[in-house]
Structure 1
Amino acid sequence: MKKLLISLMITFVFIDMGLWQLFPHEAAAQQKPIPPYAKWGTYAMKKTQERYPHAKIIDYLHIGRVTGPRSSTEKFKLWLKDDKKEFGVFVDIEFNPATSQVIRTTFKETTR
């Protein structure tokens, strides 16, 4: 009986290993597409780092896009930390959607 159980366990292990090798793509990670706001997020982080050179950006949130008749605005919230405090910065990037030319970038600090 003991030999039968050991044989069954070994058989299941080999079957399991063999099936896993037949379907290696099942374990592959899915790649997500790059979101359309990604370039504006990079721009927001760059401009924030220029404005607050002694602070470290520790978090990032895309709030959304507001589309107007002549321009669009991407909205972000970045969380920063420097030697004295942690604080948030709302970054709004207004741009021409046809040319991607930046019209205005505004910053507003927050404690929340």
Structure 2
Amino acid sequence: MKLLIPILLVFGILLINNFSTIDTNNIIITEKEVPPYTKWGKIAMKKTKVKYPQAEIIDFLHLGREKGTEYSVEKFKLWLKEDNREFGIFIDIKFNNETEQIVDIEYKESTQ
């Protein structure tokens, strides 16, 4: 037991010493790439708040993009809470590929 305490102290000192010698010159900070659907996600949330003004958006999921020759559809699922009810909203934003003008927005409620 008398030998165990000095050994633990030596290991503790070595461990602390290793933390203090971290070379901060080699740390590289990278910027996160902005996903291409960010613009459409903001629109989906904004339009959902207009359609469901009393609801709180508590979750957001990008489901993907269906790319067509002239039009594409960006798909999202938002999870909302309104009073004691929680529900999902599937949102499809159809837009012109060339102009990025919105052609249509579809909403479909879901309990899952």
Identity %: 44
Cα offset, 1:80, TM superposition: 0.3
Q: Name the structure with the higher helix share.
A: 1
The TM-score normalised by the length of structure 1 is 0.82
1:88-107 alignment to 2 at 5 Å? 88-107=88-107
Number of residue pairs aligned between Structure 1 and Structure 2: 109
Change (3 A) 1:10 1:40: same
Q: Determine the C-alpha separation between the residues in 1 that align with 2:57 and 2:86.
A: 10
Q: Determine the C-alpha separation between the residues in 2 that align with 1:98 and 1:86.
A: 37
Change (3 A) 1:41 1:25: farther
Q: Determine the C-alpha separation between the residues in 1 that align with 2:85 and 2:10.
A: 64
Q: Which runs of 4+ in 1 moved over 6 A?
A: none
Cα offset, 1:58, TM superposition: 0.4
Can you give the 5+ residue segments of structure 2 that lack an aligned partner in the other structure? none
C-alpha root-mean-square deviation of aligned residues, in Å?
A: 2.5
Can you give the 5+ residue segments of structure 1 that lack an aligned partner in the other structure? none
